[in-house]
Amino acid sequence: MKRIYLLLTGILVLGTACNNDLDQFPSNIASSDSLTDFAGVLNAAYFYQLGAVTPMAVMGEFRSDNAFMAESPYTSFDTFDNDLPTMEDQFFGPFYTALYKSILSANNVIENSANTTEVGEAKFLRALSYFKLVQVFGDVTINLSASPSLTDTSILARKPVAEVYSSVIIPDLIDAMGVLGASIVNGRASKYAAQGLLGKVYVTMGDYASAESHLAAVINGAPAAGISLKSTFADVFGADNDLNSEIIFANQISSAIGDEYDFGSDFWNWFVGDDSKSDFPVDADLVAAFDTGDLRKAVTLNVDGKTAIKFPKDGGLGGDHDWIELRLADVILLYAETLNANDNASGAESDTILALLDDIRTRAGLSSLVGTATTQGAVKQAILDERRLELAFEGQRWFDLVRTGTVNAEMGQTISSEYHLFPIPISEILASGGVITQNPGY
């Protein structure tokens, strides 16, 4: 049974309103001057990640060709126009606020804790938060202080994505790798969680040369760290399988510990069709993408292919599903993509690269892809197709399409790049006096 480490100490209260002005600088963290033990503050940094879970899941799946909304105004996820800001209260606002609260808690630990492991975990969480923010919003505010000014709004000005990567995300993950242990203890951040995320960050940046060694290190070091692919795909998912050997990092969720937004970690509810906004959310295009005999289909979709059951509600355990941030199959697929980009311009390495997918496909009941693609472009497409089926309803599809430049091809329509990003919450723009600006198109 998994351990939930997110119980907060008396210095932290959970009732902070989610619509306060400048809410990314919450007042519910005690002054660092009064603290000597920062374990509770670190736990808060983990806890606040939960408020971002459902928004990230919805953005990653319902914006893509995997799922669709049926009820207005939620259908705006599928129309690619300027209507999405109406979703602020349910998605973009809580997502933005939760991650900046996690960042502020992490800053407090980084600045003040004498425990190197705590600092390493905090840097991992800060990097993870900023990575999600830039994926969703592009340029964002950078705050690396535990005590930011509450009067100088100029510090809220959005910084370019490249700067967020170079000044926060990458150095934080490198630092975390240097101090965290390889073994995963109680599901907390580890060396390979940081290194795997760093590899994914570089892939997202298009820097495959830098990504390769980090992804290889995770794969090569996985056995000694107790990380391995599950032999059965179904055993990766479900509340009874949380923190299994394939999971490198997940946000731990328990129905006994509500997040501050109530709906923040009920991501599974949207997928199984328990919300009238999308009773039958699965896109027929995803159903058709599964080959005959693919064992992942029955784990991912119900029998009629209209709802997604990868995180089932059976047995009343729906609210206990952990949200998977990184698992070994994801890293293997990213590594194959990286080798293809770095070493396969001529197509000569196609079979070697596709062979890396054999273990993933074998447990899915499918044959090897070796010999099926001979060019770099064909191998890239084969890996992207495999990622779609392997990682469906894990919040990754839309962000994969954006980073690989395949939005138009896969969505079957021409979509302005303005709508590759999501709208900055209007409440944050107003609270900053316009210092925080809106993304183009919204």
For residue 318, the model assigns a pLDDT of 64
Query: What pTM did the predictor assign?
Result: 0.93
The DSSP line for 240-286 is: GGTT-TTEEEEE---TTS--TTSSTT-HHHHHTT-SGGGSS-B-HHH
Q: Identify whether the C-beta of residue 295 lies closer than 8 Å to the C-beta of residue 364.
A: yes
pLDDT by residue (tens digit) across 37-73? 899 999 999 999 999 999 999 999 999 999 999 999 9
Structure tokens at 45: 């940094």
Low-confidence residues of the chain, pLDDT below 50? 1, 6-30
Write the CATH number of the domain with boundaries 32-332+393-431.
1.25.40.390
Neighbour count for residue 233 (Cβ, 10 Å):
23
Q: Angle at CA 194, nearest 5°, toward 192 and 196? A: 60
Q: Angle at CA 25, nearest 5°, toward 23 and 27? A: 90
pLDDT by residue (tens digit) across 327-363? 999 999 999 999 999 999 999 999 999 999 999 999 9
If you search the block for the tokens 């820097």, which residue do you land on?
A: 207
Q: Identify whether the C-beta of residue 210 lies closer than 8 Å to the C-beta of residue 144.
A: no
Q: Taking the domains of the chain in order of start, what are their residue ranges?
A: 32-332+393-431
If you search the block for the tokens 């039958």, which residue do you land on?
A: 280
